[in-house]
Amino acid sequence: MWSIPSARRFFRRGSLAWAPYSALPTTSNDPDSATSSPRGSISSSVLELGGGPKTFWQGPLAPILGFLFLGVFILVNLDNIPLAWSNFFVREGWFAGKACEQVVLTFNATAATYGLFKTLLAQPGARGVAIDETKILLAKAPLPPPRPLLQPLQHRLPYHIINQYFENGTLPDEVPEISPIDIVYAWVNSTSIEFSGLVKERWEGEDLGRLNGEKRWRDNGELRGAVHSVVHAFKKDLRKVHIMSGDYPIDVVDTVGTDQWSMGQIPAWLDWSKVSKETNGGPALQWHFHREIFRLPREGSAIRGWSDDFVQGERDLSAMNDDEKEQEWQDLALPTFNSFAIETMLGSVAGCDENLSVFIHDLIHLKLTCSIYSNDDMFFLKDFTASDYHHPIFGNVIRSGFSNHLLAKPDFPESMISHDGEWGSLRHSSLLLHNRFNSPPQPYPDHIPKAMSIPLLDEANIIWSEDVALSGTRGFRISKRGNGDVAVVPLVQWLRMERWREAFLWTWIVGKMGGIDGVWAEEEKEELKRILGIYGTSDKVVVSRRERKTKDQMPKTLKKVGWNQPKQTWIAFSSFDGHVSSNPQKPADTCQFTLSNCLPAAFLTSTDTHSANDIFKHMAFAKRECGDCLITALVSASGESGLHAILPKEDAVYQLPEGAGNGIWDTTEPVLPLTKTWEEASFGLDDVVRIGSDVWPGEEEEESGTSVNLRKWCLKLLTRYNYAMGQYTSS
């Protein structure tokens, strides 16, 4: 904790919030101590351009005077508060360490401009040089190799911890520390002349009629306050801040060459020379321009999502390699003014932590008619911990106000392809999910900071690669191109819930019951009777939900091992209690399992064997109500905590067929089929289990030939998708 005197030094000139950037000491709580150093925080120098005289407005009375004048401005400018706010603070230097000079450059062979190019050319390792306080000159370089997809999780807890928790809901005394989180913002400076010109050019190029909505693109300087607030709210639980912004091509007519440069947007308060400086193992603030993140997913060296329709003009398709195809797609996609298109590229943000990132979406003012979607004024006003967004045991926390009266239906009429709000993209995404899982309408995603997962983004970009690639070329939400926008942020959260349900049922039906032979015989049928409580000849079986202690025990469990509790989130549901119902706060006490609907004819009375793959697909997808009721029964059979009833035996080993390899995306990460529909997928052991996919972090791969331990494999699969539903208070 900081005292007021020691914290005051971090209240920077020209800032609106406490900014204890360097107040995270490694060995001392005194910021003035020689042993203190920044850790997991943004260096104060990054957020100030530096220099400039200290004006009356920047003195000790600045906070009081600022809020006093803000109140006056609000009273006299009720019709135009955002503009008044912006003009006042920019004019008085509150959003910059020195006065902001608007510099408009004509990119020709003038001496000043040419000097910038020579400066950049003389620094082979430099990323860019500042044109002025809001623009960076970037050399157009070949795209770097794309990040490999479906890589093993780095933050998965050790096997013995996970196995114990699934067995009985307890943890050992010694556990690893919780990793800090990353946060990602998308931002744009819509006041620049270049931005306005490119918006008009693309709008006319897509033939969208009369240009409107300019006032919705205004930047009022919220980003700086947002970054201040998140650094203060999370403190040492914050690892990095990532910011995505646009970069636009420019024409340079001189001896340097043409079409080799682009101009990146940065806020006026940012000191670009400090952004890439490393502090304690890595830069705490990373900047990402659109040309760096707009990438197509690759399977090995082959791109996915490509369509010949992306080619502009006359090109010999047979002579184009994959790099040239990706460049052609990128040229069609950029510049973009569509927040949904930008969000689909979140998985390409380099250096972002895999499973511990929080995404503040829609910090870009686009043409919106729904006022509740304007989220560029999100601030963290209370103290948070990493557990508020990624629980160390429960997994990613899907924070929700449980407004389930608003549902995104899985149907997408053609009239919504050019929808300028959010419902077109939500219904399109719900339809994509429905085609894969036969899922019901999805709950409306609250407009708050959301926990995201790079591994789940990878899966979405593989399963729906064609849809994501096509939606990425839509320059505006009302574009006519393609099949509509994809709302990838809620799609990934919905995908996590469906993947958990799928993995849960697969683990018991195929992994445990089907086992090595992949069939259900007499022994498996008897186990089903026991789990469901079938003792008579009735066609309908009523299954009761058992009271569980998963949530109630967790605070005590976290305290015992020294993990931080969530500070601003109340856990309403954990996936360790099954699959989330339509009302997580008050799930139904019973469900009905109808034998004639859920099982093949004469399933329990005949001696016929049945494929575990077929039983799984029937109950998981074709008849979802059967799978949901079976989940309730399996959770109840596991007792008050844990999920031991669904797991294969610890010594259950599957021998892969001779010649089997890694197959699926060359990964050792357990993943069920990545197909667009469940009908085309095969879920047998031969189809999904791969060599080495049962090896856990910290373990050495045993010389076991082609055998795989099924319990280890299933637990790796389940811990990829486990989650919690969290309730919160927000305004």
Mark out the alpha helices in 579-718 (DSSP H runs): 595-598, 612-617, 624-637, 685-688, 710-718
pLDDT of 238-268, one tens digit each? 888 888 899 987 765 444 444 567 889 999 8
Which range of 46-55, 615-624, 681-690 scores highest in mean pLDDT? It is 615-624
- Residue 359: partners with Cβ closer than 8 Å, 6 or more residues away: 183, 184, 343, 346, 449, 450, 451, 452, 489
Least confident residue range of 89-103, 188-202, 264-278 = 89-103
- Residue 92: partners with Cβ closer than 8 Å, 6 or more residues away: 55, 57
pLDDT of 328-350, one tens digit each? 999 999 999 998 999 999 888 87
Least confident residue range of 2-16, 133-147, 412-426 = 2-16
The tokens describing 485, both together, are 């926008």
Taking the alpha carbons of 657, 662, 664, 668 in that order, is the dihedral positive or negative? positive
pLDDT score recorded for residue 471? 96
The answer to whether 88 and 76 have CB atoms below 8 angstroms apart is: no
Percentage, residues of the chain above pLDDT 90: 45
The tokens describing 171, both together, are 């943890």
pLDDT of 307-335, one tens digit each? 999 998 888 888 899 989 999 999 999 99
The tokens describing 259, both together, are 């079409």
Percentage, residues of the chain above pLDDT 70: 73
d(CA 82, CA 84): 6
What's the mean pLDDT in 603-632?
Answer: 97
